Amino acid sequence: EAGVVQSPRYKIIEKKQPVAFWCNPISGHNTLYWYLQNLGQGPELLIRYENEEAVDDSQLPKDRFSAERLKGVDSTLKIQPAELGDSAVYLCASSLNSGAYNEQFFGPGTRLTVL
């Protein structure tokens, strides 16, 4: 069974440029998460989807970040425009449903460097 797929694995852009990350969750998983992992820190939730609905986007900086999950499967996270402080690893995870009893499976992440 394929795991969570993310692309690209690495991205280098100049500040003020836009960037997009793509995530394909495990087949059949209804819940999808985007996390931000800064260097030396644990992951922090940006947004959680239940199917195609964003049920928790309280930590998403909405002035420059946006996300979508069309048809409740793949998801895209966008930053426009990128800032130097956005350099980090962006992780996607999925689970069958939300709740502590449903294991979250993580993708390998996209490492973003903003110059």
Partner 1 sequence: AQSVTQLDSQVPVFEEAPVELRCNYSSSVSVYLFWYVQYPNQGLQLLLKYLSGSTLVESINGFEAEFNKSQTSFHLRKPSVHISDTAEYFCAVYGRDDKIIFGKGTRLHILP
| Site residue total, partner 1 (CB under 8 A) | 22
Contact between 22 and partner 1 by CB under 8 A: the answer reads no
Contact between 109 and partner 1 by CB under 8 A: the answer reads yes
Contact between 26 and partner 1 by CB under 8 A: the answer reads no
Is residue 4 within 8 Å of residue 104, measured between CB atoms? no
Contact between 4 and partner 1 by CB under 8 A: the answer reads yes
- DSSP per-residue codes, 42-101: --EEEEEEETTEEEE-TTS-TTTEEEE-GGGS-EEEEESS--GGG-EEEEEEEESSSSTT
Q: Which residues bind partner 1 (CB under 8 A)?
A: 3-4, 40-45, 48, 56, 91, 93, 98-101, 103-104, 106-109
